[in-house]
Amino acid sequence: MYLTVQRREDMKKLIYVAVAFLMAFSLASKAIAEDTLHGILKRGVLRVGTEAGYVPFEMRDKKGDIIGFDMDLAAEMAKRMEVKLKIINTAWDGIIPALIKNDFDLIAGGMTVKQSRNLKVNFADPYFLAGQTVLIRKALKGKITSYKQLNHPKYKVSSKLGTTGESSVKRLMPRAQYFGYEEALEAGMEVARGKVDAFVYDLPFCSDLASDALKGKVVHLDEPFTYEPLGWAIRKGDVDFLNFLNNFLRQIKGDGTYDKMYNYWFKSTEWKKRIRKD
């Protein structure tokens, strides 16, 4: 009889401890989330961490201000929150620790969503896929509509040595003739010169070449065929902020705002006037 009563008492204690822990965890998570959103609204400023060095996502203009695709998205975010935007340039190797320390509210810096990073921070839904795309010779327009069609011995495909572009060609187009170059620009130029049939590299780089230096000389198959998502990083526990960011992304994609920004930064060269010297 004593053992039965003792076990009941022990069970009650365990239940009390479990309930107390869950309540404490819930309150802590809620406090963290409220701190971020309420903190932004209270100070009237959205603080965004980035590193100005990933064209055209974030870079310096002629005046020294940080501009880019990420910065336009952040500005729109702040606008819809009815607060000001503050960009905080931070060294990449310390950007996650700075976020955790609350130096800013989120990271918008072309950050690839990786599981190793996800152990330290939470990511909103991907806002950009920066995978590998293809530039093909103008003569192949309509004949080649997918990277898969390049997997044939008659096609010559280039990329930069030691990159994910090179590994993608070797893994997904093993039958094609591969030509590796020290510089990505040289590898891309070879398509316009007719020395190779296609060039495989990161979407932003290929998009820039196709809309500027090689405009009218190549065709850009701009649908990424590898999955390299970019996402906004926030502190763990920010459930409310995460919800806001995901809904914001859905809204701007649905109302045309996202496409307008995308076309400006990735399908035109107008923005280059802001960074080039006259």
Instruction: Kindly report, residue by residue over 231-263, the tens digit of the pLDDT.
Output: 999 999 999 999 999 999 999 999 999 999 999
**Residue 193 shares a structural domain with residue 251:** no
Assess whether 202 and 147 both reside in one domain: yes
**Amino acid 268: pLDDT:** 87
Structural domain harbouring 157? 132-221
Q: Are 211 and 237 in a shared domain? A: no
Domain check: are 249 and 268 in the same one? yes
pTM of the model: 0.74
* 58 and 101 fall within a common domain: yes
Domain count across the chain: 2
85 closest CA partner among 62, 112, 104, 109: 104
Task: Give the tokens for residue 260.
Answer: 């307008």
- Kindly indicate the confidence band of residue 94, based on its pLDDT and cuts at 50, 70 and 90: very high
Q: Are residues 180 and 46 in the same domain?
A: no
- Shared-domain flag, residues 118 and 136: no
**Residues 117 and 237 occupy one common structural domain:** yes
Q: Distances in Å between the alpha carbon of 278 and those of 62, 211, 215?
A: 10, 20, 21
Domain membership of residue 64 (yes or no) is yes
Q: Is position 12 within any domain? A: no
Q: 182-222 pLDDT, tens per residue?
A: 999 999 999 999 999 999 999 999 998 998 899 999 999 99
pLDDT given for residue 30 in this prediction = 47
- In this structure, the answer to whether residues 246 and 194 fall within a common structural domain is no
- Residue 170 within a domain: yes
In this structure, is residue 20 part of a structural domain? no
Domain annotation covers residue 262: yes
pLDDT digits (tens, 9 = 90+) for 96-138: 999 999 999 999 999 989 899 999 999 999 999 889 999 999 9
Is 22 a member of any domain? Answer: no
Classify burial at 29, counting beta carbons within 10 Å of its beta carbon; exposed 0-12, middle 13-18, buried 19 or more: middle
Q: Do residue 173 and residue 40 come from a single domain?
A: no
The better pLDDT of the pair 8, 36 is held by 36
- Cα separation, 115 vs 91, whole angstroms: 21
Assigned domain for 53 exists? yes
- Mean of the pLDDT values across residues 34-42? 87
Task: Give yes or no: residues 143 and 200 share one domain.
Answer: yes
Query: According to the model, what pLDDT value does residue 88 have?
Result: 98
Q: What is the CATH number of the domain that holds 206?
A: 3.40.190.10
Report the pLDDT averaged over residues 268-275: 90
In sign, the C-alpha dihedral spanning 184, 50, 59, 265 is positive
Quickly state the pLDDT bin for 276 (edges 50, 70, 90).
low
Residues 6 or more apart whose CB falls under 8 angstroms from that of 105 comprise 36, 39, 40, 46, 47, 48, 234, 241
Considering the domain architecture, whether residues 154 and 86 belong to the same structural domain is answered as no
Classify residue 177: in a domain, yes or no. yes
Question: CA dist 132 to 106, 166, 211, Å?
Answer: 26, 10, 17
